């Protein structure tokens, strides 16, 4: 492909494929379309009509199967948008074809599958990012900067909460939804976004004590989960997720340290109380005007903005060109998955689960995944 210039300087143009032409695929297609040096060239789905429909909207090819999509020389990167429990199985084929990977969250639904995918990407020497688009939301970028500057002091408490609403029709809309084998419940599917943000801010988790239940839906997996966490740093926290809360509320992250607290709702900082912001005794830190707003995604599965997906995909393209690890790696995806699975194990067996150090997120030494 030709080599146009992106907003961040010259970058090699890349052709994209999408495997899985369901709900999330149009977010990927629109995000790719918004990146100047990215172009969607082909899509595929086991339901050919879905691939044809997505291809018609985005003026690209509908390939009859994954092998045909992977055989194309003009596909450099593949977005894996199939049901969660198939991510590794499909992703391993993508890596084996030497294509870079954008893998939707969760990375898969078992640690074994996640490890196989990480190994496959490493062996093939391709880059992989696991979607956690909210790391690219404006409020999270600012919070990360404050944390890196040490402005919250030593972290004490971190809380992540997803109180969303999904109808029974949502779970009935595809056979894989709400199953343990291919999806998981409210924490694996919906809550993992803010769980990943919590881990990103607070660091590795050492212990998990949890409860879960399926209260208002007919499905195998949980529709409500709540866990108390002890972080390796000694700080504590909570993570909660439900799809049974009517009418659905903003996703919330609250990070508190010895020098301040930042509260995020749906990607924006709604409250910031920092010792460093005080201009005199008794004066409070700044408080932004926004608050309490309900995101589209709180009640609608497809109610997402494309900007943060586009930023994460763009970061992968930078990483490919620079030979560095993407900002969100396979290891990060695995770390969030490990905590979800620990929550499930704790809730099932009524005991605290200790995470082995091997489950902690760690730096990507070879930068390949």
In angstroms, give the least distance from the CB of 18 to ligand NAD: 9
The H or E element spanning position 143 is: helix 138-148
In angstroms, give the least distance from the CB of 16 to ligand NAD: 15
What's the rounded Cα separation, in Å, for the pair 190 and 223?
Answer: 10
Residue 299 · residue 164 · CB < 8 Å: yes
- When computed from its CA atoms, the radius of gyration of the chain, rounded to whole angstroms, is 20
Residue 104 · residue 24 · CB < 8 Å: yes
Identity of the residue, 155 or 340, whose beta carbon is nearer to ligand NAD in the bound complex: 340
Identity of the residue, 260 or 301, whose beta carbon is nearer to ligand NAD in the bound complex: 301
In angstroms, give the least distance from the CB of 47 to ligand NAD: 4
What's the rounded Cα separation, in Å, for the pair 325 and 118?
Answer: 13
Residue 2: CB atoms within 10 Å? 7
In angstroms, give the least distance from the CB of 305 to ligand NAD: 10
Identity of the residue, 151 or 312, whose beta carbon is nearer to ligand NAD in the bound complex: 312
Identity of the residue, 131 or 328, whose beta carbon is nearer to ligand NAD in the bound complex: 131
Which residue sits closest to ligand NAD, CB atoms considered?
22
Number of H helices, E strands in the chain: 11, 16
In angstroms, give the least distance from the CB of 230 to ligand NAD: 27
Helix axes 48-58, 25-33, angle to 10 degrees: 20
In angstroms, give the least distance from the CB of 334 to ligand NAD: 15
Judged by the rule CB under 6 A, the positions of this chain that interact with ligand NAD are 19-24, 44-47, 50, 66, 81-84, 86, 90, 104-105, 131, 133, 174, 189, 301, 304
Identity of the residue, 151 or 314, whose beta carbon is nearer to ligand NAD in the bound complex: 314
**Taking the alpha carbons of 358, 360, 364, 365 in that order, is the dihedral positive or negative?**
negative
Identity of the residue, 75 or 152, whose beta carbon is nearer to ligand NAD in the bound complex: 75
């Amino acid at each position: 492909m030709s080599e146009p210039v992106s907003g961040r300087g010259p970058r090699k143009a890349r052709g994209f494929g999408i495997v899985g032409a369901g709900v999330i695929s149009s977010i990927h297609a629109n995000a790719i379309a918004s990146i100047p040096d990215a172009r969607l060239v082909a899509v595929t789905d086991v339901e050919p009509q879905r691939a044809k429909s997505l291809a018609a909207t985005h003026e690209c090819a509908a390939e009859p199967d994954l092998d045909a999509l992977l055989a194309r020389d003009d596909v450099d990167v593949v977005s894996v948008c199939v049901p969660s429990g198939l991510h590794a199985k499909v992703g391993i084929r993508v890596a084996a074809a030497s294509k870079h990977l954008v893998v939707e969250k969760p990375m898969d639904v078992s640690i074994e599958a996640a490890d196989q995918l990480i190994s496959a990407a490493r062996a093939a020497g391709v880059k992989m990012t696991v979607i956690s688009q909210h790391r690219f939301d404006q409020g999270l970028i600012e919070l990360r900067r404050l944390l890196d500057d040490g402005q919250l002091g030593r972290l004490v408490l971190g809380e992540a909460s997803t109180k969303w609403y999904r109808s029974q029709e949502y779970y009935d809309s595809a056979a894989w939804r709400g199953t343990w084998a291919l999806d998981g419940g409210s924490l694996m599917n919906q809550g993992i976004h803010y769980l990943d943000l919590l881990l990103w801010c607070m660091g590795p988790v050492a212990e998990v004590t949890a409860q879960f239940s399926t209260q208002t839906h007919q499905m195998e997996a949980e529709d409500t989960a709540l866990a108390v966490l002890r972080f390796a740093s000694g700080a504590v926290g909570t993570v909660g997720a439900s799809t049974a809360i009517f009418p659905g509320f903003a996703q919330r992250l609250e990070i508190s340290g010895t020098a301040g607290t930042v509260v995020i709702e749906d990607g924006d900082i709604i409250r910031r109380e920092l010792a460093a912001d005080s201009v005199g005794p008794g004066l409070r830190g700044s408080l932004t005007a926004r608050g309490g707003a309900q995101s589209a995604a709180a009640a609608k599965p497809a109610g997402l903005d494309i900007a943060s997906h586009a930023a994460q995909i763009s970061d992968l393209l930078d990483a490919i060109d620079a030979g560095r690890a993407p900002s969100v790696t396979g290891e990060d995806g695995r770390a969030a998955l490990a905590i979800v699975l620990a929550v499930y194990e704790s809730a099932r067996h009524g005991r605290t689960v200790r995470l082995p150090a091997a489950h902690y997120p760690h730096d990507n030494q070879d930068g390949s995944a």
